[in-house]
Chain A
Amino acid sequence: MDWDAIISYLPRYKDALLLTVKIGWLGILLAFIIGVLCAAVIHQKIPVLRQITGFYIELFRNTPLLVQLFFLYFALPKVGVRVSPQFCGSLGLGLLGGAYMAETFRSGLENIAPIQSESAQSLGMSKMQAFRYVILPQAVSSSVPGLLANVIFLLKETSVFSTISLMDLMFTAKDLIGMYAKTIECLTLLVVFYLIMLLPVSILGSLVERRLRHAEFGN
């Protein structure tokens, strides 16, 4: 192990990590918003929009992010839509993640028995009130483990950003290996930096899951 090389590489990895985190979290935020909207459309059975949403979800769940990014980055400029690599990265991740988040929220909503809404309505609540005070809080808390799993999944997926010339961790590792051929050092740093990015989320995920599984409400 060449420690001097490792130390000299650190700043580049740090920059790459910051870039990945920035684009990644923007994408995840976008995914969250898209997911909530799509789940609401499907749950409320809004005609037409519901079919479009369903098609979008299936399309993005059944194609790889890499292909989606290639399409956004290389194909769209040919029809006059040109976007920066960074925007492209966040948008691609957001579209992919939105489809997954939508499924998570939807199943969270579906898991709440209809009689919960009925018993709220039998107390005189409107459908909206029943949704807001009774269904939504339960759905959100039951979706949390799934959401965190999606976050981990999406942060992992950022590893393909280098293909649209974003200087992320993979790009940096590949670049440095190409220049100095210190493969082991570069790969070790790559693993370490991915751990720095993902381990906290993963630990949070298992903590939340354990809490929800063993405690639910009132324990």
Chain B
Amino acid sequence: MEQVLLEINHIQKAYGTHVVIDDFSLAVNKGEVVVIIGPSGCGKSTLLRCINALEDIQGGEILLNGEEVLKEAKNISKMRQKIGMVFQSYDLFPHKTILENIVLAPIKVQKRTRPEAEKEAVELLTKVGLADRKDAYPRQLSGGQKQRAAIVRALIMHPKILLLDEITAALDPEMVREVLEVVLSLAKAGSTMLIVTHEMAFAKAIADRVLFFEHGKIVEESSHPKEFFTHPVTERARAFLKTFDYETEQNS
């Protein structure tokens, strides 16, 4: 029996009258990697921000291990520690070194000791190939390095689930791979992840399940990513995928 980790029930999100997410539901099992794709501005990023309670929702509920995630709730800090998030623009703290960026929250929020937090930080940095850059400031790093550091900053909190919001969208093409490889290795190690991305090849390689999202709704859902990417069922998904594929365009 698979264990449901994250459960989203009928959530509704609107800015004023503009509906961004419309009656959206999803259940993510422990160890599962769910990839969300869809055109820009379709509400994918907003969805991730809602799950981390950075946005309030107008209806429905978000449950992690059966506990509700609510923006103004008392336990929100505890809940957010369990939900790691990595942003498109890395958003490291520019006034702190990489190591300080990573150990800040473990020390201040989880009240761990500095030596212990630093030890784990260095271990994680070693895994992503950044151990030698631990004393650098964010602006001295390349985009790819910054993003790997941001992933470590989320991982050190030992989140139950990791939300990745277009983490390669701001990167130069040659840096995309180094970041995605880190994510692939996390998936192999059994991490639960909810990923928003525009990298179709990556999505195909990593996803246990793919959601095609448009206008705040799921248009198509598939537990067989290989099949989804070659033979999407809906017309919308087919048209969307086609925009990524120049060869098909020319051949057909």
State the A residues within 8 Å of B (CB): 113, 115-116, 118-126, 129, 133-134, 137-138, 141, 216-219
Contact = CB atoms under 8 A, between A and B. Distances in A.
18 contacts: A115-B87, A116-B93, A118-B49, A118-B91, A119-B85, A119-B87, A119-B91, A122-B54, A122-B83, A122-B84, A123-B153, A124-B81, A125-B109, A141-B95, A216-B94, A218-B138, A218-B139, A218-B140
B154 interface: yes
A118 B110 CA distance: 18
A179 B75 CA distance: 75
Interface SS majority for chain A:
helix
Contacts of B81: 123-124
Interface string B68-112: 000000000110110111010101011111000000110011100
Given A124-B157, A216-B94, A217-B96, 7 more contacts: A118-B87, A118-B91, A120-B105, A123-B80, A124-B81, A133-B108, A219-B140
Given A122-B85, A126-B77, A216 B139 contact: yes
B167 to A, nearest CB: 13
By Cβ-Cβ distance, the 8 closest A-B pairs, closest first, are A218-B137, A124-B81, A123-B105, A119-B91, A122-B85, A124-B109, A124-B80, A124-B77
Interface range, B side: 20 to 34
Contacts of B89: 115
B52 interface: yes
Contact of A115 (B91, B97, B138, B157): B91
A138 B94 contact: yes
A133 B104 contact: yes
A158 to B, nearest CB: 34
Contact of A125 (B49, B77, B91, B138): B77
A218 B78 contact: no
